[in-house]
Structure 1
Amino acid sequence: MPRDLAEQLRENLMTSSFPRRQHRPGPALEPDTGLPQLNGVFDVDATRLSAHLGPLREQLDRLPARPQRSPEQQRLAEGLLQAGRSARLAFVRTHGERLHRELTHGGSRSLRLDALAYAAAGLVPGLTPTRQTIDAERAHDQVHKDGHELDQGILLWGLMRSRTAGTQILDAMLAPTARAQAALPEFSRTGIAGLGTVSLTRENGVATLTINNTSCLNAEDDRLAEDMETAVDLALLDDSTHVGVVRGGVMSHPRYNGRRVFCSGINLTRLYHGQISLVDFLLRRETGYIHKLIRGIRIPGADPLAPEGMREKPWLAAVDSHAIGGGMQLLLAFDHVVAESGAHFSLPAVQEGIVPGASNFRLSKVMGPRLARQVILGGRRIHAEEPEALTFCDQVVPPEQLDKAVAQAVETLDNPSVVSNRRMLNLVDEPLDQFRSYMAEFALEQAKRLYSADVIDNLERTWINRNRHQDN
């Protein structure tokens, strides 16, 4: 390998911001490859990239699985992975918009995030992991993964940073899911839909979405994200629904048995066991059902000026007990929030080591920059009785008055002019292009955080402490 390329690779490996685990000192091992020379021509660069990535993957596949690697072998694996990530980053930085055109046949196909991620693996071999690779990694705890999801984060960063491609992706994510469309006739007829971890019931024009992930205090995971999006779609598609309400169900967890809980944030047990997906959870929830709460759903092929083109409705949240992490993030998307006195709110993502979704995009506008930093960076918990709670809650009432407060707020929101006015408010509060730009950076930053050493260490400590507590 030419000396200048070797020096360039070593410099990239030393200075990159991608996460690297720490190991004991040992003999230096480096991947035997240089960086591909990209010339800006898509087809040529795609061929060169695949030719560059193939040998890297072959060398990685010859190593033992991560738990069985020696420190030297792990350093070699990290060098191989980092060399591939640097090359992928350079490719999508140059060709993100063209790549999206190729994947969507010039924009004629509307592809969601997961479809884009796996289609890219077929179009440019090695650019992103195949579904088989991701499925195989999900069989391992987070600490034992090589982090191939990082390559998906790189791809989606490259696509969404393009205004044209990113806007089309967000538009695709606003379309109703196939599951919701299949369930719509029955829900429209009965007003009842059981969707696994959530249920949806309609009465007098109000669709109530109840989160029922009861054994884990309504903690969020891949399954809940799918069920939530399906329920939100159904409420938006259903002609008889005027207003949507989201509330936590009654818990079976010993600590809250018989009590309602709104949401306890990301399921750290599933994250520890490698069962939290970058694409199907962390990105899907932000660009899927949470974004749909704000903007509604778009009917593919329909005229946006026609009544059936966009389906948008007002949403209310009723908070019992607490809204932690993703639960507090979710509140920022609602038109009205009613909380019981005694409830509390927090965003412990910094302590966990990850990024709290789109809270960094929305919270300063709601609470002000200083308080937002206290909550996000300092882990400040807000109690419903504090004046600060009224920056993101519209009402705080005694528990016995919560149902009445919800009913009164629903009556106010059930007004034909509310939809148009909330749409105009959201255009000012959350411009689509700003959200797109944020989500592009979030895709890459969150992917890096998922596999950072401090996140793994936090999970290990949390898991060990939890097991010790259960044993005692």
Structure 2
Amino acid sequence: MTVRATPVAGPEAAREVRKDLGAARAALARAAGAEPAAGSPSDALRDLRAAFLGTHVEAVYAELTDRHARPLRLDELCRAAAAAFPGLLPTAEQLAADRALAQEAKAGHEIDQGLFLGRVLGSPVAGPHLLDAMRRPTGRALELLADFRRTGTLDLGTVRLERADGAARITMTRDDCLNAEDDRQVDDMETAVDLALLDPEVRVGLVRGGVMSHHRYRGRRVFSAGINLKALHAGDISLVDFLLRRETGYIQKLVRGLVVDDGPAWRPAVVEKPWVAAVDAFAIGGGCQLLLAVDHVIAEEDSYVSLPATQEGIVPGVSNLRLTRATGARLARQIILGGRRLHASEPQARTLLDEVVPSEDMDGAVDRALKSLQGDAVVANRRMLNLSEEPPEEFRRYLAAFALQQALRLYSEDVIGKVGRFTARGGGPGDG
């Protein structure tokens, strides 16, 4: 298939774009139809998809979103693209068949989702629109909002949300697996963050781990063991609904807030609030990533943080973008590339941790931090700090590369090869 760029200017040019897009769409569908139904897509087909998107990604996105009038989340966009452009993305049937398999047995169709979403995010036109769509409140949160506002408490399953004294306290409650995250917890966390941001009685938020029943930490609070490795190797960690949704959903909302439709057009249609994280025991992998998205971090003095994603074979979310800003380049490489644990007692840990206190002082430190961040000018100033430290365009360009790189890592030989080793050591959760 030959693809060519057509400038969009006026009705005649628009007709040419539609004609070119239609011809390219037909050629892509024919090529995909010639592929065997089973197994991974060939490099030739992926080359064709990449060429198609290289020329037409903005026209494709405009068609799927009714010229940007309809915000679609990542999963909705992928489903719409698979239906409207046969051969561009795996079908629902292909994904369902893959989802039933262990990671080592999957065909790798998520790589094509990573290719597609990476090209969308790489577009300076489509990418910001998609990221704003991911910052809108979820339907689940909107359904639960009235109940939460009335009661001030909500148990979402893996997360508990409570409101008191102007603060929303989000407690991760996966007590059996040390708060190791999976698709379900990502959904619960996004719902909780949405509710905290939507409730006008909330001025500040807290993220903390609950008390564990796991035999190694029974009766003790734990912040997070990161990604659930057992779920990853069982094939239950998805690219779209976990790895990409996590970064563009609730973590992006922690940093940049919710996009809403309320208020006059001249004011930013955003709801933002400051956030505190309290680290008990450890913040591993995804737990450490959360610390880079909040405004104040308190840690008990015998805790530690780490980002062992390189040892696991994956990319630690947006940490490669954010950690250098916090720690400096050399220490960031030691943590990400070398797997260094940073103990709260080390002087260098203060690049990530604002306060280090004895275990018995954690509750008091949390209360003081929540009170200190409720000032009237806090939100405006954190917005300007975030714009300076991580411009939205820089974040978007990073995610464009991350979408494909993380997809490739999920299906790399070294990650697949860890399945046996992981199973042999008992399948314990979250070292990552």
User: How far apart are the structure 2 equivalents of 1:103 and 1:450?
Assistant: 27
Counterpart of 2:183 in structure 1 is 222
Alignment of 1:160 with 2:121, yes or no, is yes
User: How far apart are the structure 1 equivalents of 2:275 and 2:349?
Assistant: 19
Corresponding letter in the other structure for 1:231: A
Alignment of 1:46 with 2:21, yes or no, is no
Q: Deviations over 1:277-302 (max 9, x none)?
A: 10000000100000000111011365
Alignment of 1:348 with 2:327, yes or no, is no
Counterpart of 1:327 in structure 2 is 287
Identify the structure with bigger relative contact order (alpha carbons < 8 Å, sequence gap 6+): 2
Counterpart of 2:406 in structure 1 is 446
Q: Which residue of the other structure, out of 370, 394, 412, is the alignment partner of 1:410?
A: 370
Within 5 Å, which residues of 2 pair with 1:287-326? 287-300=248-261, 302-303=263-264, 305-306=266-267, 309-326=269-286
Q: Deviations over 1:299-342 (max 9, x none)?
A: 136546458x3211010000000000000011000000000011
Counterpart of 1:114 in structure 2 is 75
Counterpart of 2:245 in structure 1 is 284
Alignment of 1:424 with 2:384, yes or no, is yes
Counterpart of 1:394 in structure 2 is 354
1:250 touches 1:261 (CA, 8 Å); kept in 2?
yes
Distance verdict in 2 for CA 1:82–1:181, change over 3 Å: same
Greater helix share, 1 or 2? Answer: 1
Number of residue pairs matched by the alignment: 414
Distance verdict in 2 for CA 1:354–1:53, change over 3 Å: same
**Structure 1 gap ranges (5+):** 1-35, 62-76
The alignment partner of 2:216 has SS state of helix
Within 5 Å, which residues of 2 pair with 1:257-268? 257-268=218-229
The alignment partner of 2:161 has SS state of strand
The alignment partner of 1:244 has SS state of strand
TM superposition shift of 1:459: 2.6
**Structure 2 gap ranges (5+):** 6-19
Alignment of 1:377 with 2:337, yes or no, is yes
Q: Which residue of the other structure, out of 115, 131, 148, is the alignment partner of 1:187?
A: 148
Counterpart of 1:141 in structure 2 is 102
User: How far apart are the structure 2 equivalents of 1:53 and 1:467?
Assistant: 38
Q: Deviations over 1:421-470 (max 9, x none)?
A: 000000001100000000010000000000000111123212223269xx
Q: Deviations over 1:239-280 (max 9, x none)?
A: 111110010011111111111100000001001110001000
User: How far apart are the structure 1 equivalents of 2:399 and 2:265?
Assistant: 24
TM superposition shift of 1:50: 0.9
Counterpart of 1:95 in structure 2 is 56
User: How far apart are the structure 2 equivalents of 1:54 and 1:303?
Assistant: 49
Structure number with larger C-alpha Rg: 1
1:175 touches 1:300 (CA, 8 Å); kept in 2?
no
User: How far apart are the structure 2 equivalents of 1:196 and 1:303?
Assistant: 37
Counterpart of 2:13 in structure 1 is none
Calculate percent identity across the aligned residue pairs: 53
Q: Which residue of the other structure, out of 159, 172, 175, is the alignment partner of 1:211?
A: 172
Counterpart of 1:9 in structure 2 is none
2:230 touches 2:427 (CA, 8 Å); kept in 1?
no
1:268 touches 1:459 (CA, 8 Å); kept in 2?
no
Mean Cα deviation higher: 208-217 or 458-467: 458-467
1:39 touches 1:45 (CA, 8 Å); kept in 2?
no
Alignment of 1:274 with 2:239, yes or no, is no
User: How far apart are the structure 1 equivalents of 2:217 and 2:394?
Assistant: 39
Corresponding letter in the other structure for 2:3: L
User: How far apart are the structure 2 equivalents of 1:418 and 1:301?
Assistant: 21
User: How far apart are the structure 2 equivalents of 1:93 and 1:213?
Assistant: 42
TM superposition shift of 1:130: 2.1
The alignment partner of 1:416 has SS state of coil
Within 5 Å, which residues of 2 pair with 1:26-45? 36-40=1-5, 41-45=20-24
Relative to the length of structure 1, the TM-score reads 0.86
User: How far apart are the structure 1 equivalents of 2:44 and 2:178?
Assistant: 41
User: How far apart are the structure 2 equivalents of 1:109 and 1:358?
Assistant: 27
Q: Deviations over 1:1-55 (max 9, x none)?
A: xxxxxxxxxxxxxxxxxxxxxxxxxxxxxxxxxxx33344222111111111111
Corresponding letter in the other structure for 1:348: P
Relative to the length of structure 2, the TM-score reads 0.94
Mean Cα deviation higher: 88-97 or 442-451: 88-97
2:302 touches 2:344 (CA, 8 Å); kept in 1?
yes
Distance verdict in 2 for CA 1:87–1:107, change over 3 Å: same
User: How far apart are the structure 1 equivalents of 2:85 and 2:367?
Assistant: 53
